[in-house]
Amino acid sequence: MSTIYLGTLAHLKANPFESAGALEIIESGALWVDEKGMIIDYGKRADILPRVPEAWIEDYDDAWLIPGLIDGHIHYPQYYATAAYGGQLLDWLVRSILPAETAFADPVFAEDAARRFIKQLLACGTTTAMVFGSQFSLANKALFNAAKESGIRLIAGATLMDSPAEGIPDILLQTPRQAQDDAEMLIKLCRNEPLLHYAITPRYALSCSVEMMRMCADLLKNHPETYLQTHINENRSEVETVLRHFKHCTDYLEVYESFGLLTGRTVLAHNIQASDGELARVAHAGCAVCHCPSSNLFLGSGLFPLARHVNHGIPVALGTDIGAGTSFSLWKNLSDAYKIQQLQGLSLDVAHLLYLATLGGAKALHLESETGSFAPGKSADFFALDFHQSDYLAERLHQCNSLEEQLFCLLHLATEREVEATFVSGSRATP
Ligand SMILES: [Zn+2]
């Protein structure tokens, strides 16, 4: 039997950076979903309901129904490492993050953390996540299993490091051979699971030897269905350190370029310090970039040049970057994304912001035919946002003159507490 979900619908029909009128808001809306969890149609409830008198109705009243959020960058083994005090990127990594990642050597600990991690994402309305995995094979297996049980869409892979350096615990280093074996095992697992994808994940330029980078390039070539994700141009001193290390490269991008790691399935996190030359080459290679607003502020990394990315035609996703980000909620990151652009003189409207967290993220991750909006034929991945959870929020929205104004307020004021339910493929994934 099909199901009709009632509420106020909001989604993007197109890219608002390219066309006007891309945001669609439907008051007294209805989302019609078949028994397999695919969207049949959507519209005004007065139009949809008479077409399917036998459908099961789930009435969310005046709550907002919004496509599932797409978190383009988050670290699973940093689940317990959020809000760690002090230092910018490289110091913070050694002091707070790498020690926390060693705990995932314990498979029991890792399995428990994997379940909590996925549960936390779903509770925030996230239905797709691109994840930096653990260095430990069993921990990653637990992550893929937890994702499969929950129905969330997952793109993930082992975070690779094999270059010993001061402050890196030896236990976090793999050999290229061992990394390849672990990756191939999970790539095989993903083949039979349409919602699970493998991402080859060299942590960043300084963490990997020439042999490890070459192994990554070979994996990418031999398994064209995989993704590649890594960090780039996050922080000025990181860029300087990379260029001191790779003397033959004129910029950070050239390091990855020289190993053949830039393809249409590469997602580069941060890219704050990018030159125009690098942006042109990222665009030419067809890579996507993931912007992580809360993380950039927390680590003081810099102000993401969104307009320059958009002008170069680079697809941009948004990420929480837990543990540098301070919220698992991608929704909450939208408010930081807005403020970061305000500081650069760009006032993003509600359509631009919602696009980055939904359809834009889906496009950046090549999932736009499956998720990211309410277009018929897509998977029914969405969440219900109930603004009555907070008296102030309800009072504030009451003062708005339009639904678009309300949605803008929600982007800044709503949190994961207002997420009443999250659905993946038409199944309720939260209690
Ligand atoms: Zn990161």
Does 146 lie in the same domain as 45?
no
* pLDDT at residue 168, as a whole number: 86
Q: Considering the domain boundaries, does residue 354 fall inside one?
A: no
| CATH code for the domain of 217 | 3.20.20.140
Report which secondary-structure segment, H or E, holds 28. strand 23-33
* pLDDT at residue 167, as a whole number: 80
337 CA from centroid of ligand 1 (Å)? 16
Does 395 lie in the same domain as 290?
no
| CATH code for the domain of 407 | 2.30.40.10
* pLDDT at residue 390, as a whole number: 87
Q: Tell me how many domains the chain contains.
A: 2
Q: Considering the domain boundaries, does residue 380 fall inside one?
A: yes
* pLDDT at residue 90, as a whole number: 83
Among 309, 328, 347, identify where a domain stops. 328
Percent of the chain with pLDDT over 70: 100
Q: Is 120 helix (H, G, I), strand (E, B) or coil?
A: helix
Checking if the pLDDT of 431 tops 80, the result is: no
The mean pLDDT value for 331-346 works out to: 98
Q: Considering the domain boundaries, does residue 340 fall inside one?
A: no
Q: Is 7 helix (H, G, I), strand (E, B) or coil?
A: strand
* pLDDT at residue 89, as a whole number: 84
414 CA from centroid of ligand 1 (Å)? 25
231 CA from centroid of ligand 1 (Å)? 6
Closest CA to 13 of 363, 388, 386: 363
pTM, rounded to two decimals:
0.97
Does 105 lie in the same domain as 50?
no
44 CA from centroid of ligand 1 (Å)? 41
Does 16 lie in the same domain as 151?
no
* pLDDT at residue 348, as a whole number: 98
Closest CA to 331 of 389, 407, 405: 407
CB atoms within 10 A of CB 307: 14
34 CA from centroid of ligand 1 (Å)? 37
Checking if the pLDDT of 55 tops 80, the result is: yes
Residues having C-beta closer than 5 Å to ion ligand 1: 321
82 CA from centroid of ligand 1 (Å)? 12
* pLDDT at residue 164, as a whole number: 81
184 CA from centroid of ligand 1 (Å)? 23
The mean pLDDT value for 111-136 works out to: 98
In 271-381 the beta strands, taken as DSSP E runs, fall at 288-291, 316-318
Does 58 lie in the same domain as 98?
no
Question: Both tokens of residue 383?
Answer: 């969440």
Does 151 lie in the same domain as 23?
no
183 CA from centroid of ligand 1 (Å)? 19
Which of 256 and 430 is assigned the larger pLDDT? 256
The mean pLDDT value for 29-58 works out to: 97
One-letter amino acid identity for 271?
Answer: N
* pLDDT at residue 165, as a whole number: 80
> How many CA atoms, within 13 angstroms, populate the side-chain half-sphere of residue 116?
12
Burial of 276 (0-12, 13-18, 19+ CB in 10 A): exposed
Q: What is the pLDDT of residues 140-177, one digit of tens each?
A: 999 999 999 999 999 999 999 998 887 889 999 999 99
Does 98 lie in the same domain as 7?
no
73 CA from centroid of ligand 1 (Å)? 6
74 CA from centroid of ligand 1 (Å)? 6
Measuring CA to CA, how many Å separate 94 from each of 97, 242, 323? 6, 16, 13
191 CA from centroid of ligand 1 (Å)? 26
Q: Residue 332 and residue 34: Cα distance in Å, rounded?
A: 31
371 CA from centroid of ligand 1 (Å)? 24
Domain enclosing residue 207, as ranges: 69-328
> Which residues are paired to 66 by β-bridges?
383
Q: What is the pLDDT of residues 203-234, one digit of tens each?
A: 999 999 999 999 999 999 999 999 999 999 99
* Mean model confidence pLDDT for the chain: 96
CB pairs under 8 A, 24+ apart, for 162-165? 162/207, 162/208, 162/209, 162/211, 162/212, 163/206, 163/207, 163/208, 163/209, 163/212, 165/206
Does 167 lie in the same domain as 151?
yes
Among 328, 362, 383, identify where a domain stops. 328
Measuring CA to CA, how many Å separate 305 from each of 276, 342, 411? 11, 11, 21
Q: What is the pLDDT of residues 251-309, one digit of tens each?
A: 999 999 999 999 999 999 999 999 999 999 999 999 999 999 999 999 999 999 999 99
Among 260, 293, 328, identify where a domain stops. 328
Q: Considering the domain boundaries, does residue 119 fall inside one?
A: yes
One-letter amino acid identity for 54?
Answer: E
Q: Considering the domain boundaries, does residue 352 fall inside one?
A: no
Q: Considering the domain boundaries, does residue 359 fall inside one?
A: no
In 104-256 the beta strands, taken as DSSP E runs, fall at 126-132, 153-157, 159-160, 196-202, 227-232
Q: Residue 260 and residue 218: Cα distance in Å, rounded?
A: 9
Q: Considering the domain boundaries, does residue 90 fall inside one?
A: yes
Does 387 lie in the same domain as 304?
no
Does 94 lie in the same domain as 63?
no
Q: Residue 18 and residue 351: Cα distance in Å, rounded?
A: 11
Q: Considering the domain boundaries, does residue 117 fall inside one?
A: yes
Percent of the chain with pLDDT over 90: 94
CB atoms within 10 A of CB 167: 11
- First-last CA distance in the chain: 22
Checking if the pLDDT of 49 tops 80, the result is: yes
Does 166 lie in the same domain as 200?
yes
Q: What is the pLDDT of residues 345-395, one digit of tens each?
A: 999 999 999 999 999 999 999 999 999 999 999 999 999 999 998 899 999
pLDDT bin (cut points 50, 70, 90) of residue 2 is very high
Does 288 lie in the same domain as 161?
yes
Checking if the pLDDT of 201 tops 80, the result is: yes
